Structure 1
């Protein structure tokens, strides 16, 4: 297996991990995000903490996809490839802020009463932390994700690393989810409708991941010439 094929395989696996961990994290967070009595009740701390762990895996996978793909996509356009890496780092940072807000919510639920804080103040503080998470969810996995999808889809479309219909999903889905999120930001669009607009970018990432795992990169001009990592090490060569 060549280094380029390994890169495709690792990138595909990491993309699938991002999807699974993102969905798992959001599902596990639900008691903290939707129950107005969470901070004043018994809580579902173990479940919410597991959600935070899932999102930490998401953060590492998001960074991993960018770092893994960079040596290949930079051959098409180094500037755009670097912008994609920077964008993924920004996306990961915003998601991390959301994780911290949820962890703070768990702490508030556990320690608020013991500290003698007024119940109304506890609820208000909890609402602030939930709002922080909701905004990070809108900005990171929506606005920034859409821009990152557009950059990567453009690079793989131009370089023909995957079938063009897969890249087109990213070229359409990326701007769509970002535009939809900005509309939600200004109150022009409902969050429920925004969820529907995220389906094309979800299809892009899943189809891209599956293709990389099963087929690897398509033969193209940027994979035609092996890189130094594809070459055998001289010291291992037999004279």
Structure 2
């Protein structure tokens, strides 16, 4: 289950960005229409649920060896999901009102502000919270030797790299560098494959 949830988070996150159109760091790009944004919002809700799900699974796997790591990882994953959901809520008023298909008719300045809030939640949630729970879990896996050594190495490298990149973006020193996210992406893929190969209990203690 844990491995499948990790894959779910990747599929839904990429799908949401594609459906939103220019909603992430591209203020001058047109946002997708009602259908695209609503579909992207549904994917981000599934993304948030998948993120919390991975936290629950990892909590169960590591709590006997490290209650601090288990609780910390679950808390950080839940925080990440909460920030993502806050971003979803800021985009929905741009294209829809609840229980109607009537266009919201917001002023351009309001629309720009809501899109800016979404961009910041995208940066803070996946961008600056992920590095902390990545390093936390990778340190535990390195010490416990429960996984092949290259898996925690990917996390220990990828977490700080993606965190530094997003911090630079936050401070205005850099644009988004997709290659900087490759190590943390490989970390989650490798962990997902290992969880699936060993079973939902991670191969025991």
Q: 1:151 aligns with which of 133, 136, 139?
A: 136
Task: Please say if residues 17 and 23 of structure 2, whose CA atoms lie closer than 8 Å, have aligned partners that are also in contact.
Answer: no
Bigger relative contact order, structure 1 or 2 (CA pairs below 8 A, ≥6 apart): 1
Matched, 1:56 2:45: yes
| Structure 1 stretches lacking a partner, 5+ long | 1-9, 225-239
Matched, 1:197 2:180: yes
Equivalent residue, structure 2, for 1:233: none
* Distance (Å, rounded) in 2 between the aligned partners of 1:77 and 1:111: 49
Equivalent residue, structure 1, for 2:4: 13
* Distance (Å, rounded) in 1 between the aligned partners of 2:173 and 2:28: 25
Q: 1:68 aligns with which of 57, 65, 71?
A: 57
> Per the alignment, do residues 58 and 133 of structure 1 end up closer, same or farther by CA in structure 2, a change over 3 Å counting?
same
Q: 1:210 aligns with which of 193, 197, 205?
A: 193
> Per the alignment, do residues 185 and 31 of structure 1 end up closer, same or farther by CA in structure 2, a change over 3 Å counting?
closer
* Distance (Å, rounded) in 2 between the aligned partners of 1:202 and 1:44: 29
> Per the alignment, do residues 133 and 168 of structure 1 end up closer, same or farther by CA in structure 2, a change over 3 Å counting?
same
Larger radius of gyration: 1
* Distance (Å, rounded) in 1 between the aligned partners of 2:198 and 2:75: 27
Equivalent residue, structure 2, for 1:27: 18
TM-score using structure 2 length: 0.89
> Per the alignment, do residues 48 and 71 of structure 1 end up closer, same or farther by CA in structure 2, a change over 3 Å counting?
same
TM-score using structure 1 length: 0.77
* Distance (Å, rounded) in 2 between the aligned partners of 1:23 and 1:88: 18
Q: Deviations over 1:164-212 (max 9, x none)?
A: 1011101110111112111111112212x2x221111011101110121
Task: Please say if residues 32 and 105 of structure 1, whose CA atoms lie closer than 8 Å, have aligned partners that are also in contact.
Answer: no
* Distance (Å, rounded) in 2 between the aligned partners of 1:211 and 1:132: 36
| Structure 2 stretches lacking a partner, 5+ long | none
* Distance (Å, rounded) in 1 between the aligned partners of 2:188 and 2:29: 36
Q: Deviations over 1:149-174 (max 9, x none)?
A: 11111122222222110111011101
SS of the counterpart of 1:107? coil
* Distance (Å, rounded) in 2 between the aligned partners of 1:162 and 1:37: 42
> Per the alignment, do residues 13 and 187 of structure 1 end up closer, same or farther by CA in structure 2, a change over 3 Å counting?
same
Task: Please say if residues 73 and 156 of structure 1, whose CA atoms lie closer than 8 Å, have aligned partners that are also in contact.
Answer: no
Q: 1:170 aligns with which of 155, 175, 187?
A: 155
